[in-house]
Chains A and B, each alone.
Chain A
């Protein structure tokens, strides 16, 4: 089922959580709402679920007005960050809850409920935990049960509010891959909220980047990473090096150094910010054309990459560089060593 939201506004006192937000969620896609805390992403999700009412604007389910439909009738599956499982019920009863509260006419028989619950528990690979209570499960298991419970009512839409936020790093990575596979199996229209860009990149078909209640960019993960639409998106997605500069006739001047900015060839002396990703910098031992002299101040190895911090004359901030581990052998990267950093790709945004 497709979801559309039109001109949504929501204020909490003087704080504007959503500011004229319009969005389409096509059928069967897995969309991530990404943004820093307080950007309105959870509010948007809760309005779609019917757990919150917008001050103005409409929500359409499959083209039909749903703004004033109660959460009970919306037929959405909602997964909470802190699981919100029913503590006094077994895993089985938790998953069966949605079916067993149905009115008599539409309620499946006990046998059907039992069969359905076991199907769902097999789907989340936790069939062996049916008789346990939630407090006997790990965080990852609890969230899978919460998901099974949400799926039990055969929702048209699955909404997940920071579903992996309370889990540790390893479980989180496993679970998000698992969620992706599950979605490929079920093809249910899903929206999930996250502040973790890596998570959004890995799981989602499409990402909606939100900031201060407004949409910054909508696009595929590649699109968002390669063509950030605004300085905010550039900053938020992945690590960046930031240089304050002046753009003049196609060049961004940073002190006595300059970066090419051909898209601004007709711009005359304007302040701008230049961004360079850490992996878009080459390091050499000799001074080559267009490189920045710098000194190694810190080196750390994070898995397959080397993270190097360079002090330099262009800014007070260190320049972050990421290199494959193999470069370690061909370069002298001891602390204090003199190197030359050459940005291969950069992006300049004019400041207004």
Chain B
């Protein structure tokens, strides 16, 4: 070790040794609130999830591997994560446009539209599923027109994607809306006075500022779609290898009293979801750091 680096490292080392585990805060009640949070998170999240993983190891390893990697399971992962991703992507684009319209323009019925955005939160998902199926079935109001061209929506992956888009709609709108409302008009005026066109202002000034909230909205919509069950079972038709989502596969296992198999599939979903959300969070952290949000 050279002299330079050692002198560098020593104060840092000392700092680390001297620094207590938590910094003292002027706000009282850290012990109590931290303890409570730990207990709460443990009871509601950590312990159940741990139990899920433990349960899945009730199977011998070769059987476990077979349950989570057979063709039917793989097809269901593909559909669940693929359709959720596409749905979240659609919500990203159209949720942004919806938020933009709600923030930037005044029009009659604005408050009603604003309220309607939250409906997918409140509606029982089964109701949404039945409604969507009625609309998009080959003899439904919308489905019949597509049927003319030989396009099937309900009972295909397209129907699944539509259902997952529906239930994820509010997330992007509600995360982008307040940030958009907070953006000062001055920043856009500054860009215009410097000679930027509307498109340049949008892509180089507005979009980067909105990126963190767009990512948050996307992550929430994506996460919500992965876990969705109620609305999808009606519109998907539930054909193994083709329109069967993983949560349904888990449900089927439960009905056959194959608890360990259900838990194994659940653990796989848990792992995937965790990795994906972690990645999105890292991306967000990075973009946040840049704007100093």
Contacts and interface: CB of A to CB of B under 8 A. Distances in A.
A88 B290 contact: yes
A173 interface: no
B196 A71 contact: no
A72 B197 contact: yes
B292 A78 contact: no
Interface stretch (A94-102, A227-235, A236-244): A94-102
B28 interface: no
Contacts of B291: 87-88, 133, 135
Contacts of A74: 193
Given A78-B189, A80-B186, A82-B186, A153 B209 contact: no
B187 interface: yes
Interface in A69-90: 70-72, 74-78, 80, 82, 84-89
Interface string B252-269: 000000000000000000
A101 B194 contact: yes
Interface string B194-224: 1111001000110011010000000000000
B271 interface: no
Contact of B195 (A72, A80, A88): A72
B90 interface: no
Contact of A149 (B186, B192, B194, B205): B194
Interface string B269-293: 0000000000000000000001110
Contact of B196 (A51, A76, A78, A97): A97
- Size bin of chain A's contact surface: 20 to 34
B292 A135 contact: yes
Nearest to B199: A101
Nearest to A149: B194
B293 to A, nearest CB: 8
B184 interface: yes
B182 to A, nearest CB: 11
A77 B290 CA distance: 26
B290 A86 contact: no
A86 B292 contact: no
B190 interface: yes
A294 interface: no
A5 interface: no
Contact of B194 (A82, A87, A135, A153): A153
A72 B290 contact: no
A58 B110 CA distance: 37
Contacts, number: 79
Interface string B143-165: 00000000000000000000000
A49 interface: yes
Given A84-B187, A87-B292, A88-B291, A78 B193 contact: yes
Contacts of A88: 208-209, 211, 290-291
Contacts of B290: 88, 133
Contacts of B190: 78, 80, 84-86, 146, 149
Contacts of A80: 186, 189-190
Nearest to B293: A87
Main SS of chain B's interface residues?
helix
Nearest to A101: B196
B49 interface: no
A89 B211 CA distance: 13
Contacts of B192: 51, 70-72
B191 interface: yes
A146 B291 CA distance: 17
Nearest to B184: A84
A203 B60 CA distance: 84
Contacts of B208: 86, 88-89
Given A82-B184, A87-B209, A133-B292, A71 B197 contact: no
A87 B184 CA distance: 11
A135 B211 CA distance: 17
A231 B290 CA distance: 53
B186 A77 contact: no
A77 B196 contact: no
Contacts of A77: 193
Query: Which of B184, B191, B209 counts the most A-chain CB atoms under 10 A from its CB?
Result: B191
Contacts of A135: 291-292
A82 B185 CA distance: 11
A34 B103 CA distance: 34
Interface string A280-305: 00000000000000000000000000
Contacts of A97: 191, 194, 196, 204
B187 A98 contact: no
A136 interface: yes
B93 to A, nearest CB: 21
5 contacts: A51-B189, A78-B190, A84-B190, A146-B190, A153-B194
Interface of A: 49-51, 70-72, 74-78, 80, 82, 84-89, 97-98, 101-102, 133-136, 146, 149-150, 152-153
Interface of B: 184, 186-187, 189-197, 200, 204-205, 208-209, 211, 290-292
Given A71-B192, A82-B186, A101-B191, 10 more contacts: A50-B193, A71-B189, A72-B192, A72-B195, A88-B209, A101-B200, A133-B290, A133-B292, A134-B292, A150-B194
